[in-house]
Every structure is written in structure tokens, then in C-alpha cells.
Amino acid sequence: MKLLLLPLIALRNGVEFIGGWGYLLWDTLLAFRRAIFAKRGRRLGWQNLWYQMERVGVRSIPIVSLVLFCIGAILALQMAPTLRQFGLVSTVPDIISVAVYRELGPLVSAIVLTGFAGASIAAEIGSMVVAEEIEALQAHAISPVRFLVVPRVVATTIMMVCVAVVGDLMGTAGGLTISQGVLGIDFRQYLTHTYDILRTRDFITGLIKAAVFGSLISSLACYLGLRVTGGAEGVGVATTRTVVLTIVALIATDLLFTAAFYARGW
């Protein structure tokens, strides 16, 4: 009997989770609108946003650069033998550009940022819950959503777009390095191919995805952080769940977006 109930319980928990997360997103949106028009608390808001942007984005740039550089290089090395059979080695830059700008730049940057920002946001907010800091905020009539969630979501969204741009460029650099050094494609030729094949649309769809990924990472991390119960162990569980759930959510969302762009012929 218990075994039969398990899927139902899982379904209920899933609905509850998505409902709670959706509610937090809605609350964040309302609080963001209020924060923009608020007269008070602005000085703190900007300072806080700036700090979060540095923490979330700036520190992750070296890692994202390294990872995307390697991915660009790997793509070039993987594709070259097959393409050579058809005499199409010169199309390596074209394939890398589309793959990186539309897909891998935003997605891989988002996965790196999940480890960087998502985990640390969940752990930070979870520790604040354990230390009664959230209750203290409420007792001081300061909304935890406006004070903690909004700056983190806005900062992660903005920085995710910036990091994706850096990632795109580094992916190109990785492909370029291998093409020039190993495949014998001149770097001017590589850049011309990249420039010719890429449409503004490829770049923009990648950045739209990046922005959505950014808000996904931070809102899930904040939500799981705020739900922490049970002290230090709870913080650990929330951090792990944040990373796992976010990566699943990122890839699922990516599929949805790619399907939608495909259907619209973008």
C-alpha cells in the first residue's frame, strides 16, 4: 500500500515545490518593481546589487573562460577527422560558432555558475535561516525577498549574460587556437567564417537563454536556501539539491527554448 502511495507523495511534493518556487518568483518580480520605484533603501540596494554582481559574476569569469576555451578546442579536434573525410575542414569555424554562440556558451557558463553562485547562495541563505537572521529581517519589517532574493536574482541574471558573452568569445578562441595550430586554418580565415556564418539572431537567442538561466539558478538557490530546516545538515542538503536540481532545470529549459526557437525558425 505504501509503495503505491509513493508516486502520489512524490507528485504532491513536486507540485508543492514548483508552486512554492513559482510563488517566490512572483514575489521577487513584485518586490523588484517596488524596489525600482522605492524612495528608501536605494543606497543599500545598489551597494548590495554591486556586491552580488562581483561575487556571482566577476569571480567566475576565469573558470568559465578556461572551460569554454577547452570546449572550443575539443570541438575542433573532434570534428576535424570526420570533416576531413568530406574535405570540409574549412567548415570547422562555422560549426563551432553556431554550437558555441547558440548553445554551449550559455549552457556551459550556466552550469559553471551553478557551482559558483547557486551553491554559495543556497548555503548562505540556508545559514541565515539557521541563525534566525531571516526571522530578524522580518521582525525589522524588512522583506527577505526584497532584501536577499531580489539583488541575487538581478545580479545573477545580469552577470550570467555577461559571462555568456565572455564564454562565447573564449569558445571561439579555443576553436581558433586548434584550427590555426593543428588543422592549418589561417586565423583570418577562421574569423571571416565565424563572422559570415553568425547572424545577430544566433547571438541574441544565446543571450536570451543566458538571462533565463541566470534567473533560474539564483531563484532556485534562494528558494532552496529559504526552505532549509534542521541546522547545518539542512544547509548541506540544500546546497547539494540546488546544484543537482538547477542543472536538471537548466537542461530542460534549454530544450524548451531550443524547441521554441526551432519552431519559429530562429
- Provide the binding-site residues for other proteins, judged by CB under 8 A: 39-41, 43-44, 127-128, 131-133, 135-136, 138-142, 147
Minimal distance in Å, beta carbon 174 to other proteins? 37
Q: Which is nearer to other proteins, 135 or 196 (CB)?
A: 135
Q: Which is nearer to other proteins, 31 or 67 (CB)?
A: 31
Residues 6+ apart with CB under 8 A from 189: 90, 93
Minimal distance in Å, beta carbon 206 to other proteins? 33
Minimal distance in Å, beta carbon 104 to other proteins? 34
- Closest listed residue to residue 34, CA positions, set 136, 167, 165, 149: 149
Asked if 217 and 123 count as a contact pair (C-beta separation under 8 A), the reply is: no
Minimal distance in Å, beta carbon 112 to other proteins? 24
Q: Which is nearer to other proteins, 29 or 63 (CB)?
A: 29
Give residue for cell 530578524: 136
Asked if 222 and 147 count as a contact pair (C-beta separation under 8 A), the reply is: no
Minimal distance in Å, beta carbon 16 to other proteins? 16
**SS3 (DSSP) at 158:** helix
Q: How far is CA 158 from CA 110, 147, 202, 213, in A?
A: 12, 18, 19, 10
Q: Which is nearer to other proteins, 48 or 246 (CB)?
A: 48
Give the number of residues written for the chain.
266
Q: How far is CA 125 from CA 162, 165, 178, in A?
A: 24, 28, 43
Q: Which is nearer to other proteins, 129 or 178 (CB)?
A: 129
Q: Which is nearer to other proteins, 140 or 264 (CB)?
A: 140
Instruction: Provide the sign of the torsion angle of the four alpha carbons 249, 209, 60, 223, taken in this order.
Output: negative
Minimal distance in Å, beta carbon 153 to other proteins? 18
d(CA 233, CA 238): 9
